[in-house]
Structures are given as C-alpha cells and as structure tokens.
C-alpha cells in the first residue's frame, strides 16, 4: 500500500493481507470508476484523459492571465475601453515635490502585470512615483516604480517598505523599482493611502 523511509537505512512497508487486500483492491476500483465518470472516460484510458484535462487547465489559466494583463494595460480585451481607463488613472495623480505620485489598485493580477502597469503609468506621467497594489487570493502584492529623474529624492525600496508595513509585509529592490508582499488583505486601501503620506 505504501513504502517510505523512517530513518537512515530503515524503510517502512505498509501492506494489506488476506480479505483486507481484497477490500483494498475493491476500494481502488471504486475510486478509478468514480474518476472515470467525472472525467467522462473509460477506466483504461483514464490516465491519458487526465493528462489532457490537466494540460487544458494549464492552457486556460495562461489565457486568463494574458487576458487580465491586456485588460489592465488597456489592450483590446477590454473592448476598446482600456485607453480611457488608463487616462482616468493618470488624471488621479497627485502633485509631490519634484513631480507626481499615483497609487492604483488592481486585484487578481500577477506580479508581472503589476510591474508592467506601474512602468506604463510612470512613463506616461514623466517625473513621477507610482505604486500599483492588489489582492490575489490571500496575499497583497505591491510594486513601486520611480522615474530616473527622481531617484535622488525617492528610493523605491524605502517607499515600498513603508507601504508594505501597513499590510504586514516587507520588500525591497532597486532605487527605481521595488516589490513587496503582505498578508493583511483588508488593509490594502490603507497601504495605498499611506503611499501618498510617505512621499510627503
């Protein structure tokens, strides 16, 4: 039934004997039949069907991530509304010493999407500091980018650490880009508000 190591040079084998062995085999047969019904497959080609389903699941997950990224970055997946959404975000930027600051919330996206959006917003704003944060599952992700012209005044690593502290996390990175994570998902809005306080 199972086999594994319990100490150096010692293996443990667990087995069923007699009628227990028959009951174990029947239990396995029941599991296989249930799995075959769920997969709409015969018992003999069940492994191949499961492999195809797993591969399809991976492909769909990748497609979802790609679509979310296009929507977040104003791509065609947003029905042409992406450009206006980007402009609305930019309009909410605030003045800070030396340039502008912008905090944006984007839930359900991976770290790569947050980085891409932060870079796009920073580039459109020019002399600016941008944070993009969001909740994915039970985690908070934060990305801070600083325009090259402002790295003497603001360090992305310092900023992201102070913002991440609000969500019970920490992080770091380069002077122009830093990332952080946290676990206090209900504090994400407070963290984004803290960003403006940190920049003065």
The answer to whether 171 and 178 have CB atoms below 8 angstroms apart is: yes
pLDDT, tens digit (0-9, with 9 covering 90-100), for 141-168: 999 999 999 999 999 999 999 999 999 9
Reported as half-sphere exposure (CB side, CA atoms, 13 A), residue 111 has a value of: 11
End-to-end Cα, the chain, rounded Å: 64
**In the chain, pLDDT over 70 holds for what percent of residues?**
94
Q: Would the CA dihedral through 53, 57, 60, 62 be positive or negative?
A: negative
Q: Please, what are the domains in the chain?
A: 83-199 (3.10.310.40)
Task: Write down the mean pLDDT value for the chain.
Answer: 89
Return the pLDDT at 78.
Answer: 42
- Confidence band for 80, pLDDT divided at 50, 70 and 90: very low
pLDDT, tens digit (0-9, with 9 covering 90-100), for 5-50: 989 999 999 999 999 999 999 999 999 999 999 999 998 899 999 9
* Cα–Cα dist 6/103, whole Å: 52
| Cβ count near 94 (within 10 Å) | 12
Reported as half-sphere exposure (CB side, CA atoms, 13 A), residue 152 has a value of: 4
Return the pLDDT at 81.
Answer: 43
pLDDT, tens digit (0-9, with 9 covering 90-100), for 162-190: 999 999 998 889 999 999 999 999 999 99
């Amino acid at each position: 039934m199972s086999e594994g190591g319990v100490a150096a040079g010692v293996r443990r084998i667990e087995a069923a004997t007699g009628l227990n062995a028959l009951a174990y085999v029947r239990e396995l047969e029941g599991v296989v039949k249930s799995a075959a019904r769920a997969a709409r497959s015969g018992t003999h080609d069940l492994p191949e069907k499961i492999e195809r389903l797993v591969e399809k699941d991976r492909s769909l997950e990748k497609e979802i991530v790609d679509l979310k990224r296009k929507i977040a970055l104003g791509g065609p997946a947003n029905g042409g509304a992406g450009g206006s959404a980007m402009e609305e975000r930019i309009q909410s930027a605030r003045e800070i010493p030396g340039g502008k600051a912008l905090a944006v919330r984007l839930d359900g996206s991976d770290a790569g999407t947050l980085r891409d959006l932060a870079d796009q917003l920073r580039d459109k704003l020019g002399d600016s500091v941008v944070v993009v944060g969001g909740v994915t599952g039970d985690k908070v992700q934060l990305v801070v980018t600083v325009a090259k012209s402002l790295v003497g005044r603001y360090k992305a690593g310092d900023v992201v650490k102070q913002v991440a502290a609000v969500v019970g996390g920490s992080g770091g990175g380069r002077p122009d880009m830093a990332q952080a994570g946290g676990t206090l998902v209900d504090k994400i809005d407070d963290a984004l508000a803290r960003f403006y306080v940190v920049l003065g």
